[in-house]
A = this chain, B = another copy of it.
Amino acid sequence: MTHRTPLVVRWGDLDAAGIVYYPRYLHFCHVGMEEYFRQVVGIDYPAFLAEHRLGLPSVRTEVEHRRPIRYGDPVELEIEVVRVGESSIEWRDRFWHPGEAQPSTEARIVTVCVDMGSFTKRAVPDWLRSKLLGS
């Protein structure tokens, strides 16, 4: 399932070239995941962590930048759950400038479901799986 949310770039997200510092995109992807939980899954990510003792650390990220984001640019972040495996979740994050045919930046992120105490893999719970897929 796909979810879109406006992205407000802050002064502190920029580097000295006046564009978003590239590590910040991965932070924005995490923010996108938090918003996806709140708006699509229907549970706050902080509550998810606290109540289920599960976490979703990233094990693989892939980012492609086509054009930079500057201060004040109206940008939308599109978050998509591409695949839910046994314990992994694959996300696609696309940063859109208005009127462009291709996303300005596109990211693929694989997170894995772990027990927050032991950091060992856990199966994605069924209730979460169906909500992530929006089915």
Q: When the two chains form their complex, are residues A64 and B72 in contact, meaning their CB atoms are under 8 A apart? A: no
Q: When the two chains form their complex, are residues A68 and B10 in contact, meaning their CB atoms are under 8 A apart? A: no
Which positions 1-41 of chain A face chain B at CB distance < 8 Å?
Answer: 10-12, 14-19, 21-27, 30-31, 34
Question: How many of these chains are in the complex?
Answer: 4
Q: Name the B residues within 8 Å of A61 (CB-CB).
A: 22, 61-63
Q: Name the B residues within 8 Å of A68 (CB-CB).
A: 57, 119
8 more A-B residue pairs beyond the given contacts A16-B16, A47-B72, A62-B62, with a C-beta to C-beta distance below 8 A: A10-B31, A12-B23, A17-B116, A19-B57, A22-B58, A26-B26, A60-B63, A62-B63
Which A residues are within 8 Å of any B CB, using their own CB?
A: 10-12, 14-19, 21-27, 30-31, 34, 44-47, 49-50, 55, 57-66, 68, 71-72, 116, 119
